[in-house]
Chains A and B, each alone.
Chain A
Amino acid sequence: MNVGLPTTGLGGIFYILSGLLMPFIELIYTFREKSSTARWKVVFRQVGITMGILALIWITSLVLKIFIPNQASNLIPVETNAIYSISYIRIVLASPILALGTILGISWIASLFLRKRPAK
């Protein structure tokens, strides 16, 4: 069974970031002599898939820009100038990352109150 809706929303971003982190973590494991060829194979495969996803998202944004060039500006408040528009777009793009960080931060704070050690 699966949890939630695959690829939608912050879950997708979370797994993309987790995938991109894998080579750095594996490097640390390699320095500690805890890595192996099999582990690196998994890392390369997952990073490859992650990069593929990112590349297609980027291509999609380009296609959208070409076919519906005026739509984005229609959604920006009329009185804005060009510089503000760029900032606005950056905020829109950064907001999922900020949201992800905020949610994980809240979850971490909540865990401090909920913490219960395992009884192994």
Chain B
Amino acid sequence: MTSKEMAENLTVIIPAYNEAASIEDTIRSIQNQTTPPREIIVVDDFSSDETGELAKSLGVSVLRPPKNTGTKAGAQNFALQQVDTKFSMAIDADTILAPDAIEKLIVVLEDEEVAAACGSVIPRYKNTLWERGRYIEYLFAFTFYKPIQDYYEKPLISSGCFSVYRTSNLKEQGGWSTRTMAEDMDLTWSFYAKGYKVRFVPGAVCYPIEPENFDFMKKQLKRWSHGFIQNVMLHSRDTSHLPVLRSMITIGVWDAVVASMAYLLLIPLLAIIFRNPIFLLGYIIDLPAVMVPPIIKGFERKELALTLSSIPSFFVLRTVNCLFVLEAVFSEVILRKRLTVYQKGH
């Protein structure tokens, strides 16, 4: 089956809550694909702006639940009931796709064992400190970590902003779960637990709008940190028979906790105890390791100057991230206080 034939059997679901500013770009980028999908469904999740009307004017199906579903997963599941195509795709309402993104991504689902696939993510705007920090984080992760994870057949997450699924597998899971704050991670690990494969396709690129200020960023970091810890606790048993995934999760948890504590406590403490500022080099000692993958990708994308000038922002974002990770561990593991309210932060 060619990718064009596969796309003719594809429904794209776009959950949207007050996305009037970005929904048009998202829909047009899907309609202008080299292999357009059979159907695009926008779930207007009880928006108070023009999201639904704008989507309708572009000729796509618009569903409006009787009340706000409360989560992205809830809105996606509302649309999933209507899907009768073999493949389903999730795209965020603030995300646009490269013109050949669907063509490149969907083809890996020819392998019947593959339940989901995701592409590369590059922030659409790179203006503020937070956007630039995220830009380097993504260049690093999607150039170095993710291809290695894919080689070992265990991409850690099929990103929620742009992923394709085999509809039967998705429905078998009950759609996107609302039991954690990271529905994409939950779904990916659930697929692995059932013995299915998930793939990463670097050439399929999407461009989401990343948090441009601290207010949005803190909501996203909180949701992601809590979502990660919730998934680790939820899937500790059903992923224990998968050595590669188990190792990645273990190392992820270790780094999230220990590296965060080292960043926020150990480094300044050592500098004070030994009265030696050399310990503060610990904050940037891995600068060379950070630089290599983004510089390679930045060069390929003809964005080398932007990449180099954005590297300092990454270190700020990383330090701030430590606070949210530790807060999530303390809250979810020690206090047993789960984050259950989904706060939109792009």
Interface residues of A, Cβ cutoff 8 Å to B: 1-12, 14-15, 18-19, 22, 42-43, 45-46, 49-50, 52-53, 56-57, 59-60, 64, 68, 71, 74-75, 100, 103-104, 107-108, 110-111, 114-120
Q: B156 to nearest A CB, angstroms?
A: 6
Residue picked from A9, A18, A52, A108, most chain B C-beta under 10 Å = A9
Residue picked from B144, B156, B182, B290, most chain A C-beta under 10 Å = B144
Known contacts A5-B321, A15-B145, then 20 further A-B pairs from the complex at CB < 8 Å, ordered by chain A residue: A1-B159, A1-B227, A2-B137, A3-B157, A5-B260, A6-B140, A9-B255, A9-B259, A10-B255, A11-B252, A46-B147, A46-B148, A49-B144, A71-B276, A103-B254, A107-B246, A107-B247, A115-B241, A120-B195, A120-B196
Residue picked from B152, B228, B286, most chain A C-beta under 10 Å = B286
| Known contacts A1-B182, A104-B247, A116-B238; A8 and B293 CB within 8 A of each other | no
A53 and B224 within 8 A (CB):
no
Contacts of B236 in A (CB 8 A): 114
Write the B164-199 contact mask toward A (1 if CB under 8 angstroms, else 0). Answer: 000000000000000000101100000001111000
Number of interface residues of B (CB under 8 A): 66
B293 and A12 within 8 A (CB):
no
| Known contacts A53-B289, A71-B276; A118 and B255 CB within 8 A of each other | no
Contacts of A2 in B (CB 8 A): 137-138, 141, 224
B251 in contact (CB, < 8 A): yes
B195 and A9 within 8 A (CB):
no
| Known contacts A56-B292, A74-B276; A8 and B156 CB within 8 A of each other | no
B107 in contact (CB, < 8 A): no
Q: A33 to nearest B CB, angstroms?
A: 18
Q: Can you list 16 A-B pairs, Cβ within 8 angstroms, ordered by A?
A: A2-B138, A2-B224, A3-B156, A3-B252, A6-B318, A7-B286, A8-B286, A11-B251, A18-B148, A68-B278, A71-B276, A74-B276, A107-B250, A115-B240, A115-B241, A118-B195
Residue picked from B182, B227, B238, most chain A C-beta under 10 Å = B238
Q: Number of A-B pairs whose CB atoms are under 8 Å?
A: 156
B280 in contact (CB, < 8 A): no
CA–CA, A10 and B253, complex, Å: 10
CB contact between B322 and one of A5, A49, A100, A118 (< 8 Å): that residue: A5
B144 and A15 within 8 A (CB):
yes
CB contact between B289 and one of A42, A57, A71 (< 8 Å): that residue: A57
B59 in contact (CB, < 8 A): no
The 8 closest A-B pairs by CB, nearest first: A56-B288, A9-B259, A111-B240, A107-B250, A114-B240, A4-B255, A8-B259, A3-B252
Interface residues of B, Cβ cutoff 8 Å to A: 137-138, 140-141, 143-145, 147-148, 150-152, 156-157, 159-160, 182, 184-185, 193-196, 224, 227-228, 236-238, 240-241, 243, 246-256, 258-260, 262-263, 274, 276, 278, 281, 285-293, 296, 318, 321-322, 325
Q: B20 to nearest A CB, angstroms?
A: 25
Q: B241 to nearest A CB, angstroms?
A: 5
B292 and A4 within 8 A (CB):
no
Contacts of A8 in B (CB 8 A): 255, 259, 262-263, 286, 318
A46 and B144 within 8 A (CB):
yes
CA–CA, A56 and B236, complex, Å: 36
Contacts of B250 in A (CB 8 A): 103-104, 107
A49 and B237 within 8 A (CB):
no
| Known contacts A60-B285, A103-B250, A120-B194; A3 and B256 CB within 8 A of each other | yes
Contacts of B159 in A (CB 8 A): 1
A117 and B241 within 8 A (CB):
yes
Q: B245 to nearest A CB, angstroms?
A: 11
A56 and B254 within 8 A (CB):
no
Contacts of B238 in A (CB 8 A): 116, 118
B151 and A22 within 8 A (CB):
yes
B318 and A111 within 8 A (CB):
no
Contacts of A118 in B (CB 8 A): 193-195, 238, 241
